[in-house]
Structures are given as C-alpha cells and as structure tokens.
Amino acid sequence: MNTKGKILVVGSSADMFELKDGRKEPMGYYLNELAIPSQAAVDAGYEVVLATPNGKQPAVDQHSVVADHFGGSEEALQKALDFVATNAGMRNPRSIRSVIDEGLDNYAGVFVPGGHPPMVDLMQDPDLGEVLRHFHATSKPTALLCHGPIAVTAAMPKAREFRQALVNDDMAAARRAAEGWQYAGYRMTIFSNDEEQYVEENIMGGSKVPFYVVTALEIAGGKVETKGVFEAYVVEDRELITGQNPPSDHGIADVFVKALDRHVAAKAAR
C-alpha cells in the first residue's frame, strides 16, 4: 500500500506510577489521545508505527475508556478501540531501539500521546532522546499531547539526572541538568498544574504526583502556555506541536496532519 510516509507513535512501557507519598497508582495512555491523532494521520494517508522502550504493547488507562472522552459517543469510543486493536502498526509494536537501527530517515513525523506514563520512563529514555534529537535536527513534525510533552526532556544530555532532581525537589540541580536542552526557548503547552490538582483530588485520592510537568518544562527553559481547566489548546512552534489535555485531541490531530503534509510537500519539492 502506497502511503505519504510513516509516522512514529511512541508509547510508554510504564504501567505503574509512584506518587509523592510512595503509593503506587496504575496508569496508562489515554485512549482518545492515542487513537484520535493516529487515526487522523492514517486517514490523511500516512502509516503509523507504534514503538515503546521495551517493544511491548503499552497499557491503556481505564479511566479513558469511556464515551465522555469521545464527545459522549459510544460509537466513537468503539471506533477508537477497534483502531488500536486492528491497525497493523498498533497491533505489532516495535522497540524504539529497533526503529532507530532501521533508520529514522524513513519517518516523516513523531507523535507521543499522554496519560501519566511519559513522566516515568519516556522523559528519561535514551533511545527516545536519540529520536527527538534527530527530528529536531531535521525539523520534522514532533507532536506530543497532554502529559506527552514532558517526554521532550529525553533529548537532554542529562535527562535521567533532570528527572531525579525534580523528584528530589532540587530545582537548582534540575536547571543544571537541563543545560544544553534543544527545546529551550520553544513555546509549548502541557497538562496544567490546575488540571493535575483536579486529578490528584478526584482520581488519586488526594495523593500528589512526584512533580508538576508545567514546572518541569519551565525549569528546563520551555515557554509554557496553558488555558483553562480541560479547555482545548494547541501550540505550534517550529517543528514542535503540543496539546494541553485530552480535549485537545482533535486540535492537535489537525495541526499535526497539516504540518506533516507541509513537510512531505517541501521534501518532494527539493
């Protein structure tokens, strides 16, 4: 089947989240955040390839498998479930390392959905860091949604030290670890502190996350913008496209596909 190009969809291998008080919380990607942009890319003529750090199927957050995240439509919910279950690229995930070894020049863009897992492994994954540095250097569309944008810290030379400093509440150490970050100075958005506090109170039983992702990106040098609680918002700055929250799924899908089409057209014209 002829396609416009391949899109790398990066999922997490983490399915548990250690909160500030040491309690473990099951977690996974948000179904609409994975399915809506990925389906939009397929509908626009692209092939999607799902990859995770360990090459296994990522876990879905059960809180997201409800019609509320699909405009109240049970039909749209089922369509998303069917897409993840039947699309060849979604059914057969790769390891990020195997994708790199095969060649990143084969990919037109990269997309990272949210849910809390990117806060655990993706933001400090060295293979994802290599992927992001390639897409940054080649100005290929790089889209991340909800908590997904925290994964851009993987491009740092000291990504693991950065995350550990955040967990330790050592912001001076986090700033030092972030030096040389490729996305410093970029406009971006991510799941807001107010939204995270809503989740802490209503889903996590009052337990706190180990750090807030807005604060993390600001410390790293990102120019973070957020709108109201669960208000859709998408920011595009150069190759980087970020969406704030689950309701931003259709918005980021539209911006991402347009960026992909521009990139592919420009490449063909060269």
Contact assessment for residue 241 and residue 183, using Cβ atoms and an 8 Å cutoff? no
d(CA 268, CA 95): 29
pLDDT in tens, 5-47: 999 999 999 999 999 999 999 999 999 999 999 999 999 999 9
Contact assessment for residue 112 and residue 10, using Cβ atoms and an 8 Å cutoff? yes
What pTM, to 2 d.p., does this model score? 0.97
**Nearest 5°: phi and psi at 65?**
-90, 60
pLDDT in tens, 225-249: 999 999 999 999 999 999 999 999 9
d(CA 249, CA 105): 26
Q: At what angle do helices 249-269 and 31-43 cross, to 10 degrees?
A: 30
Q: Which two tokens stand for residue 227?
A: 């709108």
Predicted confidence at residue 252, as pLDDT, reads: 98
Contact assessment for residue 87 and residue 42, using Cβ atoms and an 8 Å cutoff? yes
d(CA 48, CA 109): 10
Q: Which two tokens stand for residue 125?
A: 């994954």
Predicted confidence at residue 260, as pLDDT, reads: 98
Per-residue pLDDT for 1 more than 80?
A: no
Q: Domain 5-265 adopts which CATH fold?
A: Rossmann fold (3.40.50)
The radius of gyration of the chain's CA atoms, rounded to the nearest angstrom, is 17
Which run of H or E residues covers position 21? none
